[in-house]
Amino acid sequence: MQEAKKAAQADVTIAVMSGTFLQRGEPALLPKWERARMALEAGADLAVELPYVYSSQKASTFANGAVSILDMLGASHLCFGSEDGKIEPFFNSINQISQHEEKYRSSIKEYMKQGLSYPKALSLSFEAINGSKGDLADLTKPNNILGFQYVTSILEQGSPMRAQTIQRTSAGYHDEELPSGKIASATSLRKAIFSGNGTINEIKPFVPESTYRILSGWSNEGNPFLSWDRYFPYLQYNALSMTGKELSEIYEVEEGLENRLRSALKESSSFQEFMEQLKTKRYTWTRLQRMCVHVLMRTTNRQMEEAVNGERSPYIRVLGMNPTGQRYLGSIKKNVKVPLITNVHSFEHPALSLDIKAANLYAMGFPKQSRISRLKAEYATPPVRIGFDK
Q: How far apart are CA 109 and CA 115, in angstroms?
A: 10
* Domain range enclosing 110: 100-139
Q: What is the mean pLDDT of residues 252-273?
A: 95
What is the identity of the amino acid at 358?
A
Q: How far is CA 104 from the centre of its chain?
A: 26
Burial of 163-187, coded b for 16+ CB within 10 Å and e otherwise, reads: bbbeebeebbbebeebeeeeebbeb
What's the domain count of the chain?
Answer: 2
For the beta carbon of residue 294, count every other beta carbon within 10 angstroms: 22
pLDDT at 215 over 60: yes
- The per-residue pLDDT for 172 is 52
Name which residue leads in pLDDT, 278 or 99.
278
pLDDT in tens, 127-151: 787 765 568 888 878 789 899 999 9
- In this structure, is residue 90 part of a structural domain? no
- In this structure, is residue 286 part of a structural domain? yes
pLDDT at 208 over 60: yes
Q: What is the mean pLDDT of residues 105-129?
A: 84
* Residue 82 buriedness (CB in 10 A; 0-12 / 13-18 / 19+): buried
Name which residue leads in pLDDT, 53 or 309.
53
Domain stops at, among 307, 332, 355? 307
- In this structure, is residue 127 part of a structural domain? yes
Q: Are 79 and 7 in contact (CB under 8 A)?
A: yes
Q: How far apart are CA 322 and CA 383, in angstroms?
A: 10
pLDDT at 34 over 60: yes
Name which residue leads in pLDDT, 173 or 250.
250
pTM: 0.91
Q: What are phi and psi of 12, to 5 degrees?
A: -135, 135
Angle of CA points 10, 12, 18, to nearest 5°:
110
- The per-residue pLDDT for 80 is 93
Q: What is the mean pLDDT of residues 237-253?
A: 96
- In this structure, is residue 274 part of a structural domain? yes
Q: Are 48 and 316 in contact (CB under 8 A)?
A: yes
Q: Are 370 and 362 in contact (CB under 8 A)?
A: no
pLDDT in tens, 345-375: 889 999 999 999 999 999 999 999 999 999 9
Any alpha helices (H) in the chain, and if so which ranges? 2-8, 32-41, 52-55, 59-72, 88-99, 101-113, 118-130, 142-156, 186-194, 209-220, 232-241, 244-248, 257-266, 271-278, 285-297, 301-307, 323-332, 350-363, 368-380
Domain stops at, among 114, 139, 164? 139
Domain stops at, among 307, 327, 354? 307
Closest by CA to 190, choosing from 179, 180, 181, 177, is 177
Q: What is the mean pLDDT of residues 306-331?
A: 94
- In this structure, is residue 183 part of a structural domain? no
Q: Are 250 and 298 in contact (CB under 8 A)?
A: yes
DSSP letter for 87, please. Answer: S
- In this structure, is residue 237 part of a structural domain? yes
pLDDT at 176 over 60: no
- In this structure, is residue 371 part of a structural domain? no
What is the identity of the amino acid at 380?
A
- In this structure, is residue 295 part of a structural domain? yes
Residues in the chain: 390
Q: Are 354 and 299 in contact (CB under 8 A)?
A: yes
